[in-house]
Amino acid sequence: MNTGANRKLNLAASVGLALGGVFGMAGTFAGSDNLRNLAWEIDSLALIVATALLTIKYFRKGCDAVAAGFLIFAIGESVMLSGMAAGLQASAPAFAAGAALWATALVLVHFPREFDFWIRVVGDLAALLFLVTATEIFSGQPLNPLTSPLPFFAYPLLVATFAGWIWTLVREP
């Protein structure tokens, strides 16, 4: 891939990750169900596009585990998007499945050491928290996407991971 096309792909993925982080956090603090759903819809669509683009980028680069991780993240985000309009409690099964897929994706993306150490550590902590959250929901605990402490405190780690990915993308020559 030529340098100009690579920069455009990196920019598009970075914008998607940034929009996902901003609208995801905004939805967490939204004052109404409708605003939350709208923010999370934008968040999901942006992250699906970004991680699909990153799948292609890392597959072309020969980093199959990283590419597979980004593909799994897109699938997890799609699962979450499918349950969002049902409301917080009704979306819990889709959220649990999506959180489990996010956790798996983060571990795969960071295992090959394509990203700096701090990004991998933050992402792996987020993965652990989302895996615990998913396991709790699958075990019958009445958690939803806004329950505190989990998953509420996992989101900032996920957004920090996005920031690290963006930082990596914009630093590329």
pLDDT tens digits for range 31-86: 899 999 999 999 999 999 999 999 999 999 999 999 999 999 999 999 999 998 88
The tokens describing 112, both together, are 């090959």
Q: How far is it, in rounded angstroms, from Cα 73 to Cα 47?
A: 9
Total domains present in the chain: 1
Cα distance between residue 137 and residue 1, in whole Å: 43
Of 43, 167, 165, 61, the closest CA to residue 109 belongs to: 165
Judge whether 71 and 109 are in contact, CB under 8 Å. Answer: no
What H or E segment, with its residue span, contains residue 149? none
Q: Which residues of 145-173 are buried (b: 16+ CB within 10 A; e: fewer)?
A: bebeebbeebbebbbbbbbbbbeebeeee
Closest residue by Cα to residue 130 from 96, 164, 167: 96
Provide φ and ψ at 146, rounded to 5°.
Answer: -110, 0
How much is the average pLDDT of 121-129?
98
- Close Cβ partners of 160 (under 8 Å, ≥ 6 residues apart): 122, 126
User: Backbone dihedral region of 21: left (phi > 0), alpha (psi from -120 to 50 degrees) or beta?
Assistant: alpha
Instruction: Supply the pLDDT for residue 16.
Output: 98
Whether 134 shows a pLDDT value over 70: the answer reads yes
Tell me which DSSP letter residue 162 carries.
H
Assess contact for 32 and 41: CB atoms under 8 A: no
161: which 2 tokens?
């991971």
- Between CA 155 and CA 127 the distance in angstroms is 10
The pLDDT confidence band at residue 2, using thresholds 50, 70 and 90, is: confident
**pLDDT tens-digit series, residues 142-168:** 999 999 999 999 999 999 999 999 999
Structural domain boundaries enclosing 57: 3-171
pLDDT in tens, 85-122: 888 889 999 999 999 999 999 999 999 999 999 999 99
Distance of CA 131 to the CA centre of its chain: 13
